Every structure is written in C-alpha cells, then in structure tokens.
Structure 1
C-alpha cells in the first residue's frame, strides 16, 4: 500500500472511530424513556448516571454499549492494519465519547470506552485495570474512586512498559499513559471535591 493510501486509511479510520465514540447510548436511551440525563443525577451522560437515573439494568446496558464503542473499532483496525492504528482508533473513540459533538462537547468521562479500547489490544491490561476498579469500588462504594484508581493503573502500566518490565513499545506506553490522563482529567471535579473535603476534616 502506498504512503498516500496509508494516510487515507489512517484518517478515515480515526474519523469513523471518533464518530462511533460520539454516539451516546445513555442519552439516547434516556430520551426514549422520557428522561434527560443532563438535568438529572450528576448530569453526566454515562453508565453510572444512567444507572442512577434510569435503573441499574439500563446502567449495565449503557456500560456494555460504551465498552463496545471502544472495543469494536480497535478490533477491526488492529486485525486489518496492526496495533499502531488500533491505538489511534482507540484514542479517537474515547475522545469522541468525551467530547461528543452530538452533545456539544459535553460527553461522558470515557471510562467504559477506554476499557473497551484497551480490551481490544491488550486484554490482560484491561482485566487488571478492571480488577483495580472493582476492588476500589468495593472498598469505597464510590464508582468515581474506582475509575480514578483504574486510570492510575494505566499510568503505572505505561511506566512499566517504559522501564522494560512489561511488553510493548513507546507507542504502547504513550497510549496507556494518555488514556489514563484523559480519564483523570474528566474526574478532576471529583478530585477537587475530595481534596476540599479532606482539608475541611
């Protein structure tokens, strides 16, 4: 394949993945059920708030769909063109979810879509991060804490790759770190709130 066609494939794949990520099942399901997630619960159009406002069953459905938004584009790109394009496509899907143009840039926090993207390329990393998330949620009963701990786990995983203690190249390390930082950034209000509470006590 010529360099020109490679560029076309990369751009087209990234755009498609961004659009797929931008589709927000939480908002769509809530609308069908006569609810507006933007004004209910935490106001976040993600699985956690969907479960809070619409019921646990719908929260699980939204979570699965958000995971698939990251997983499927990455699987296709990885199978056809290799891991490096899969990384770019996975990041595009996560950014689409976070900055969805259909929601005027006010998308979800990207946790489930990030999990799906990692699952498509490095399933063992995804399972370990999911385990960290689950343990943190069980111990704190707070999904946001679990999400932040999982994001920190991605930073650690990226550091291990850089140090040569885990398989992967510079792309792998950068991808894991960037995904972790985006998830942490989307939880910045939770971090600030926790810090303020700690200072008050």
Structure 2
C-alpha cells in the first residue's frame, strides 16, 4: 500500500469537492454572492431559487460530477498498484466522502459551502449507478408530490442504504457500503436540520414547479 499516493489522491478529492460552482458562477456572471441571498446556501437548490433554471442546472451537474470524479479517483490507486483491487470499494467510499466534505467545507471559500446532496449523488452514481438512479426517481416523486426539495433529498438519501439492505438484487458483498450509506444519510440529516425544523413547523418553502402544457 502506497500511503503517499493515497494521501495525494485524498487531497485531490477534497480540492475537487471544494469547487464552489454556485458561488463562482454567481459572482462571475451575476455579480452576487449566492450565500447572501435566498436560503444562504451555496448549493444547486438555492442557485435555482436565486439565479434561475439554467445556472441552477449547471451548478447541479457540476456538483454531481465533483462527487463522481472524487470517488472515481480510487480507481487510479488500483491502476498504480497503490492498493489491492479488493479494497477498491473502501477507498471509493473514503474518497467520495472526502469530496462531499469538501463541498460542505470548501477550502476556497472559507469552509462555508453547500449541503452536499448533489455531490453525494455523484458519489453514489460512481459506486452503485442503478441504485442511485432509483434514488433520483424517488427524489423526483417526493418533490412533485410534496413540493419540498429538502424532504425529497432526505428520503432519497435514506433510500440508498435501505435499497441495498432490503432488496436482494442490490445487496453488496461488502456490508461496509450499507453502513456507509446510513452514515451519509446521517450527514444529510445533519446538514438539513434547519429544513427539518421548518418542515415540522410548517414553514419550509415549497419549490415552484411548473409543468409545461401541450398545445
């Protein structure tokens, strides 16, 4: 095991996760700091709310790609013989989690970032793409049913480890993926604690979802 190479890739995963697309796009093209508007969050949801659909979609895609890229760095450790192939899943989880933490605590912006849901999604897409796509479907159903982005994010995050645990087809050989899934769900709950309080109080803002009509 090459500790130096592992450390270098771990740092790279954090720096990738720290890319603040919402903040940078807001400052470069709109002259505002997204963290001073809307919910004060620098994630895709607040970008949709403050800047609109196009920049929101761009930020979301970048954040997803960040998580996927940070997680996929683990594959290079196998290529460079820094780890054994059977340890790949462990390092995918470690690097993906580091990328998510980079998004939440970005070094480029004084460690004030977003909630990490889109980056977490990218991580899951790199590890279990089919289950991750099912979680996206669950998020969409909850979103269009309740109009709450936060509720959809929380339920989708919980769905990932539950699907791995309860559906035989998706049960992984290494149970660490299930354990890690529940840990990441706890992180999502922690970062959404204010949203949860507003949901309980009936004060959470609903998403303005408009479906186009056929003419």
RMSD: 2.0
- Secondary structure (helix, strand or coil) at the match of 1:109 reads coil
Does 2:23 correspond to 1:17? no
Q: Secondary structure of the equivalent of 1:107?
A: coil
- Shift, 1:55, TM fit: 1.1
| Structure 2: gaps spanning 5 or more residues | 79-87, 204-215
Report the alpha carbon displacement of residue 79 of structure 1 after superposing the two structures with TM: 5.6
Which of 128, 131, 135 is equivalent to 2:134? 128
Match of 2:103 among 97, 102, 107: 97
CA distance in structure 2 between the aligned counterparts of 1:168 and 1:71, rounded to whole angstroms: 21
Distance in 2, matches of 1:17 and 1:177, equals 21
Asked if 1:187 is matched to 2:184, the reply is no
Superposed counterparts of 1:64-143, under 5 Å:
64-78=61-75, 80-81=77-78, 82-143=88-149
The answer for the alignment partner of 2:159 in structure 1 is 153
Does the C-alpha gap of structure 1 residues 66 and 182 become closer, same or farther in structure 2, counting only changes over 3 Å? same
Task: Provide the rounded CA distance (Å) in 1 between the counterparts of 2:193 and 2:146.
Answer: 18
Q: Secondary structure at the match of 1:115?
A: helix
User: C-alpha deviations, 1:146-199, integer Å up to 9, x for none?
Assistant: 1111122134235448x997123132122211221111111110111222339x
Q: TM-score, normalised by structure 2?
A: 0.83
More helix by share: 1
Superimposed CA distance per residue, residues 73-114 of structure 1 (whole angstroms, 9 cap, x where no aligned partner): 222323642222111110100010011122222210101000
Structure 2 distance, partners of 1:168, 1:134, is: 29
Partner of 2:33: 36
Structure 1: distance between partners of 2:48 and 2:120:
19
Query: Is the contact made by 2:71 and 2:123 (CA closer than 8 Å) also made in structure 1?
Result: yes
